[in-house]
């Protein structure tokens, strides 16, 4: 009963945050609100007993990505341009996709159903035998690090690849870690930036 009330409260807050994000034009406020949204999602994962996922969501969604977004805001404008196109087509696309996803959930087993396919395949073996085979009280760690160690190696490689990609895109030559002393490129980007950013900058200046 209490859990249901907490769930309703969290969902209401998430909905309110999402609507506020939609309506705001100040990107700084949008970044802050998306951090709050992540924190609410993390609380939601806690009520679903997925504390490991909640931990990740709180650390990455509410923490790191907010900081990175603010770092990006320092490079671009802080106000969103008023969209020139009508929101009708995106609204229809999002509405149809959302309706299809909700329709798909009707086929899903009830939350926590013991006869759900996910609970019948390998889950019983992990829950029953993992303590004898791996010896860890936290079954999540046993599955992630041992039974599914291959997948986790892939995930770490994904993070490695992401860091390499950001280094290639934003980093400069060797020994030039800030990536700002690359004169010809920096000049070209500055010119491009001036062309592309002239509108939001002037708009932001006008309103501020």
Partner 1 sequence: MRHHRVLRVISKLLIPFIMLFALYVQFHGDFGPGGGFQAGVIMASAFILYGLIFGLENARKVAPPGVITMLVAAGVLIYAGTGYAGLLKGGNFLDYNVLAATPVGGQHLGILIIEFGVGTTVAAAMITIFFLFAGRER
Positions that interact with partner 1 (CB under 8 A): 51-52, 54-56, 59-60, 63-64, 67-68, 71-72, 74-75, 132-138, 140-142, 144-146, 149-150, 152-153, 155-157, 159-160, 162-164, 166-167, 170-171, 177-180, 193
Query: Shortest approach of partner 1 to residue 59 CB, angstroms?
Result: 4
Cβ neighbour number for residue 31 with a 10 Å cutoff: 19
Toward partner 1, which CB reaches closer, 33 or 58? 58
Q: Which is nearer to partner 1, 20 or 152 (CB)?
A: 152
Residue with Cβ nearer partner 1 (113 or 192): 192
Q: How far is the CB of 102 from partner 1 (least distance, A)?
A: 30
Q: What are phi and psi of 193, to 5 degrees?
A: -60, -40
Q: Among residues 75 and 88, whose Cβ is nearest to partner 1?
A: 75
Minimum distance of partner 1 from residue 68's CB (angstroms):
6
Q: Identify the sign of the CA torsion 109, 110, 111, 113.
A: negative
> What's the CA gap between 66 and 119, in Å, rounded?
35
Of residues 64, 42, 62, 63, the one with CA closest to residue 54 = 42
Of residues 113 and 129, the one with the C-beta less far from partner 1: 129
- What is the closest distance, in whole angstroms, from the C-beta atom of residue 115 to partner 1 in the complex? 27
Compute the least distance from the CB of residue 163 to partner 1, in Å: 4
- DSSP codes, 36-76: HHHHHHHHHHHHTT-HHHHHHIIIIIIIIHHHHHHHHHHHS
Residue 125: which of 146, 111, 106, 98 has the closest Cα? 146
């Amino acid at each position: 009963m209490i859990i249901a009330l907490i769930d309703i409260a969290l969902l209401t807050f998430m909905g309110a945050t999402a609507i506020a994000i939609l309506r705001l034009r100040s990107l700084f406020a949008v970044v802050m609100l998306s951090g709050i949204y992540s924190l609410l999602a993390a609380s939601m994962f806690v009520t679903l007993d997925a504390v490991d996922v909640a931990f990740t969501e709180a650390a990455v969604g509410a923490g790191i990505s907010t900081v990175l977004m603010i770092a990006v805001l320092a490079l671009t404008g802080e106000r969103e341009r008023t969209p020139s196109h009508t929101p009708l087509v995106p609204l229809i696309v999002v509405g149809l996709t959302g309706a299809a996803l909700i329709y798909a959930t009707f086929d899903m087993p009830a939350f926590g159903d013991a006869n759900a396919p996910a609970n019948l395949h390998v889950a019983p073996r992990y829950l029953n035998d993992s303590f004898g085979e791996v010896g860890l009280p936290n079954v999540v760690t046993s599955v992630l690090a041992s039974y599914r160690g291959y997948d986790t190696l892939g995930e770490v490689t994904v993070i490695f690849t992401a860091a390499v990609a950001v280094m290639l895109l934003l980093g400069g030559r060797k020994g030039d870690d800030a990536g700002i002393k690359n004169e010809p490129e920096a000049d070209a980007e500055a010119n491009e930036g001036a062309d592309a950013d002239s509108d939001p900058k002037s708009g932001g200046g006008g309103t501020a």
